[in-house]
Amino acid sequence: MSFPYTVLDLFSGAGGLTEGFYRNGFDIISHIEKDEFASKTLQTRSLYYALLKINKVHIYYNYYNNRINRDEFLKQCCELGIDNSEVIHEEISLITEDSLIDKINTQLIKRNINKINVVIGGPPCQAYSLIGRGRDRYGMLYDPRNHLYKHYIRFIQTFSPDLFVFENVPGIRSAKNGMIIEDFKKMIDESGYDSDQKILNASNFNVLQNRKRIIIIGWKKEYNLSYPDFAKSQTPYIINDLLSDLPELKPGCGSEISNYTGDRTKYLQESGIRTDETCIRHHVARPHNDRDREIYRIAIEKWNNGKKRIKYTELDPSLKTHKNEKSFLDRFKVVNGNGLSHSIVAHLSKDGHYFIHPDISQCRSLTVREAARIQSFPDNYLFEGPRSSQFIQIGNAVPPLMASGIATKIKDMLNRIYL
C-alpha cells in the first residue's frame, strides 16, 4: 500500500486531533461533527490544507485577514475544484448511522479509495467527566452520551481499519463504576482488535498545559503490534514564553485583526504556534465589571507574590455574589505565567473567572487566541462562530501538538504493517 494513509475522523470537534494527523500527511476521508460552528471550523481548516497542497494558500490568508468574506472564500475554492464534502455536519446516532456510513462510502468511491487505515475520535466527554457527573443529580447515569462509544465501534466494525485511536477524559475509567470502559474493551475484542490504554499528559508533548487524557489505541489481532512508547519529558517552557508577543489588552479592548507587539520566542518558533503571518485573529478581551476586576487583582497578587490561590470565602462580602460558600471555592483562578497552565475547558465560554491572565496590568481573562495558544493551536487556525462557541471548540479539543505526537506513532505502526 502506498502512502498517504487514510483516516475516518469521528466526533471531530474543531479538529484538534485531526490537525495532528493532517501534519503527519494523513488523508482524511471524512470528518463527522454535529456542532454547526465546529463543523465550519473543520471546513475552513480542511480547505487550508487543500489549498496548501496546490500552492494556493494565499486564498486562505485572504479570508483569514478579512480581505474576502466566507462566501467568496468558498466560491474561490470551489472554482479550483475543492469542496467540503468530506466534512459531514450531522449527529451520530442510531437514526443516522446507516446514512452516515453511506456518505463515507460515497466519499471512498468518489476518490477511488478502497481502504480506511485509521479511525480516530472521542465522543463528547461531559458524560464521563468527574465534574459533569458531579453537577448531574443522577451522576449522568441516564445521559444518552454514555453510549456514544457504541457508535464509534459500529464504524470500526463497518470499515475494518488497521488501527484506531480513541480519546477521552480519564473519568471514563470510572464512569458507571467502570462498566463503560469494560464494555468498550469487550466489544473491541469481539470485533477482532487488540488494544491498550494509557493516560497521557499534554505537557509531555511540549504543550504548556497540564492536561491528562486517556488514549486507547487498537490494532487488528493479526498484527504484531503493541502500544507505542511516548516520551515523558516535560516541556522546559512557561506560559510567559507563549503570551509575551501579543498586544496587551484591557477588558473589552482589542480588534479582530491585530499585529504582534513582541518578537517570536524560542518556544513559539520551536512549537510552530506563531506562524509567518504578520496579523493575528481572535485576540479580543472580554469586558469585565469593576467587582470582578477587583477580585482578579486580588487573585493575581496572591498568586504572583506567593503562589497561593484565592478562596471565595476569603473575599470581602462586598465582592461576593453567590450564597454558596461550601463548593467551588476556587472559582477564581490565575493562569500560572511562570509555569504550565491548568487544563483549558469549555466552561471558559461562560465566564473567564477560572482563566485569569497573569499580568496584573491587564487584569482580565484570557482571549480566544490566548486559550488557543495554550492548547497549542497555531495562530493561523481560524475558529468560526461567535466567541462563546470558539471557547467551547478550544476547550473540548485535543491539543494539536499532542495529536501530532500521537499521529507520528500511528504512522510508525502502519509502516510496520505495510513497509
Task: State whether residue 162 is helix, strand or coil.
Answer: coil
| Bridge partner list, 258 | 280
Whether the Cβ atoms of residue 334 and residue 239 lie closer than 8 Å to each other: no
* Separation CA 172–CA 38 (nearest Å): 23
Cis peptide bond upstream of 4, omega within 30: yes
Whether the Cβ atoms of residue 126 and residue 140 lie closer than 8 Å to each other: yes
What are 375's three cell numbers? 492548547
Task: State phi, psi for 79 to the nearest 5 degrees.
Answer: -65, -25
Q: Is 363 in the active site?
A: no
Whether the Cβ atoms of residue 40 and residue 19 lie closer than 8 Å to each other: no
Q: Helices 36-53 and 70-79 meet at what angle, rounded to 10?
A: 40
Give the active site residue among 77, 78, 125, 279. Answer: 125
Whether the Cβ atoms of residue 113 and residue 2 lie closer than 8 Å to each other: no
Rounded to the nearest angstrom, the gap between the alpha carbon of residue 27 and the centroid of all alpha carbons in its chain is: 19
| Residues contacting 365, CB < 8 A, separation 6+ | 285, 286, 288, 296, 348, 351, 352, 353, 355, 356, 357
* Separation CA 45–CA 170 (nearest Å): 28
Whether the Cβ atoms of residue 358 and residue 337 lie closer than 8 Å to each other: yes
* Separation CA 22–CA 48 (nearest Å): 11
Task: State whether residue 166 is helix, strand or coil.
Answer: strand
Q: Return the active site residues.
A: 125
